[in-house]
Structure 1
Amino acid sequence: MATVKNVAEIAKVNVSTVSRYLSGELSVTPETEQRILDAIKQTNYQPNIIAQGLRRGRSRTIVVVAPDIYQPGISGIISGIDRRIQDSRFILITVMTQGSSRRELKILRTLSTMMASGVVLIGHPFGQINSTEMIRDAIGMEPSLVYVSRTFQESNVLEVCPDQLSGMQQITDHLIEKGHRSIGLIVGVNEHPDALIKIRGYKRSLTAHNIEIRDDLILEGFFRPEETRAATDVLLERNVDAIICTSDLMGISALQHLQNKKLSIPDDIAVAGYGGTIWADLVTPKLTTVAVQVEELGQYAAGLLLDEIEGNDLDSNFAIRPVSLRLGESV
């Protein structure tokens, strides 16, 4: 098995130069870098990341903890994180919680033994994890930590969030400008922090236009087609003329369910989604939605995390990234 010494001999550099280059502690000239890379390829040398971590006290790994990597928004965030760290000497590991706070805590306790340099937590799990103190108790104090779309607004941790409040106001304002006055809202889960922010934006828009707020028009779809269809039926019984869903997939479920009932979209009833995913453009009519720039969100979060790991000064620990209305044909 090839060793650092073998690589150093072929590259004609010191062993310490190879070791420090591989650990990211040393910058070398392009010519030296190419000799080292050629030597690694020639010898098929495989760096031992764990051993390097033991020597430095941290491994050069960044761990992403996400509810479900198959959700379009989350996969986009992870893609952005990966793009941002490609030019660094870190590797990315992604694990899923399936939205469970119990599973998240179990994962975080496991990560405490991995000596990761940084951890990215995406979204709020369902459960009682409601402070950085709980997370630090599980993971320890060492890894740098950044939240994406998990709003604790604590001064001692990095947070990056899309502007969900503005996004929901924008889509509700748009429907009102189109003449709609009885607007139903289907969220994932009412008490989820993300849903609470969106409900606040929805209500703020209604209030600004002097439209009565009716809590009976705010229903849960649990991000599943069957429950979304059931919520859509209830809203129809309550005579809404428009429906906003807080995810594009729920919006598509509602739209197709209404079409199956022989209702014309948007002539009989308008439907809007949230997220700006590719799925919004794959239905007829195209779904009007709020576009969240998820890759940019991931890149921005990864940049903050790398800066903190390297000890660089940060302008702010909390960043709200803009969202925008993306018009389709469903409103």
Structure 2
Amino acid sequence: MAVTIDDIAKAAGVSSATVSRVLNNSGYVKDETREKVLKAIKELNYTPSAIARSLSKKKTNTIGVVVPEINNPFFGEIIKGISEVADEHNFNLILCNTDEDIKKELRALKLLKEQRIEGILITPTSTDSDYSSEYLWTIENLGIPVVLIDGHVKYSNFNGVFVDHIKGAYDAVKTLIDEGHEKIAIITGRMNSRPARERLAGYKKALKLHNIPIKEEYIFYGDYTHEKAYEITKKILEMKDRPTAIFVSSNMMVLGCIKAFSENNIEIPKDMAIIGFDKVEVLNIIGMNISFINGPTIEMGKIAMKMLIDILNNSQATDTKTINLSPQLVLKGSEKYVR
């Protein structure tokens, strides 16, 4: 049976209020009385409830983190950055994974609010859906600070940290063009997400500025999953006038492309060049050199957590703050044009 504050009070011969003051280090308690309470706590092996203490102080030191793909290394590194800063400032984290499902995200947001968290860091699922109005109402009425991480909420004005997706995509496609590629395909992410739209815009910008016609047949609409990219890549390889290079809009989709290449004996870059967006660490481990756009993921998590802490410490601030980080192109040879 769990030991309660009343049990401690009875053993020490004091009131429950006195025990509470000792536990929370608040209010005056005589040294002699404090010693009695501490002795009773030790003898009864009492462990105070973190939740009860936080409720008494009206502060939980807990932050909610909501991501759409916990199995994606991109979000794993963001969480790592968040965690490092949270540990430095004695914050706890509650992590929720939504599987890109807005209904799950709505449930997560409502659950976190019930947990009396102090703020939320979130990469939102797209709100271009039947639930968009309910979603916006839910997130705006949490009553706590919200910081977005590389994802936007339509018709809202939240603080956030973002990657310059247009620049990243432009740099990737320009590199392919500089290598001599003119037939360049793109596999996009879900087009109801802003990063996917911006990466497609960067792709088109690079082609246009280098006087290369934009061909709709080279634009393939993916969904960020390796399964969809695998199916798309098989179709690309069957094209009569197939491209010589593919710009792939996410790290997980790169894996789908490589699977299709392997099954069809396609060598990189001899038979097909490729550049992805965000790194795939497993490819480095097995020695497969795939060029990629490197988003500053750990740094993004750190900055987002620091931004949230600043908001919590300056509750009177009303200005919305957004930070855009520039991604870096990492070339490993898969972008080459082998004539």
TM-score > 0.5 by shorter chain = yes
- Alpha-carbon distance, 1:51 to partner: 2.5
Query: Is 1:87 the counterpart of 2:88 in the alignment?
Result: yes
| Aligned counterpart, 2:257 | 254
SS class of match (1:271): strand
**Inter-partner Cα distance in structure 1 for 2:56 and 2:20:** 15
- 1:209 matches 2:210: yes
For the structure 1 residues 115 and 261, does the alpha-carbon distance in structure 2 shift closer, same or farther, using more than 3 Å as the test?
same
2:118 maps to 117
Q: Note the aligned Cα RMSD (angstroms).
A: 3.2
Q: 1:261 Cα deviation (Å)? A: 1.8
Q: 1:43 to 1:295 in 2, by over 3 A?
A: farther
Shift of 1:56: 4.2
Q: Distance in 2 between matches of 1:215 and 1:171?
A: 19
Give, as a single letter, the amino acid of the residue that structure 2 aligns with 1:319. I
1:41 deviation in Å? Answer: 9.8
2:24 pairs with 1:19: yes
Q: Which amino acid in the other structure matches residue 60 of structure 2? A: S
The code of the aligned residue for 1:183 comes to I
Gap change, CA 1:245 and 1:156, over 3 Å in 2: closer
- Alignment equivalent of 1:326, drawn from 321, 330, 334: 330
Unaligned runs of 5+ in 2: 12-18, 27-40
Alignment of 1:56-71 (within 5 A): 56-71=57-72
Structure 1 unmatched runs, 5+: 7-13, 22-39
Letter in 2 for 1:76: E
Which one-letter code corresponds to 1:289 in the other structure?
F
The alignment status of 1:305 with 2:311, answered yes or no, reads: no
How far apart are residue 152 of structure 1 and its match?
4.0
Q: Which amino acid aligns with 2:91?
A: F
Q: Which amino acid aligns with 1:158?
A: N
For the residue of structure 1 that corresponds to 2:311, the secondary structure is helix
Q: Does the residue aligned with 1:116 lie in a helix, a strand or coil?
A: coil
1:321 aligned partner, one-letter code: L
Residue matched to 1:294: 297
- The 3 A distance-change label for structure 1 pair 283 and 244 is farther
CA contact (8 A) 1:111 1:139 kept: no
> How many residues are matched?
308
Q: Distance in 2 between matches of 1:296 and 1:78?
A: 10
Provide Cα deviations, 1:291-313, integer angstroms capped at 9, x if missing partner: 11211110100000011111176
For residues 314 and 178 of structure 1, the distance between their equivalents in structure 2, rounded to whole angstroms, comes to 48
Change (3 A) 1:17 1:180: farther
Q: Percent same amino acid at aligned positions? A: 25
Give the superposition deviation at 1:127. 4.9
* Equivalent pair of 2:136/2:153 in contact (CA under 8 Å): no
Bigger Rg, structure 1 or 2: 2
Separation of aligned partners in 2, 1:295 and 1:82: 10
1:166 Cα deviation (Å)?
0.9
TM-score by length of 2: 0.79
Q: Which piece of structure 1 moves more, 173-182 or 82-91? A: 82-91
Please tell me whether the aligned partners of residues 255 and 271 of structure 1 are also in contact (alpha carbons under 8 angstroms). Answer: no
Deviations 1:124-161 (A, max 9, x none): 34753658x84453573421111101124877421111
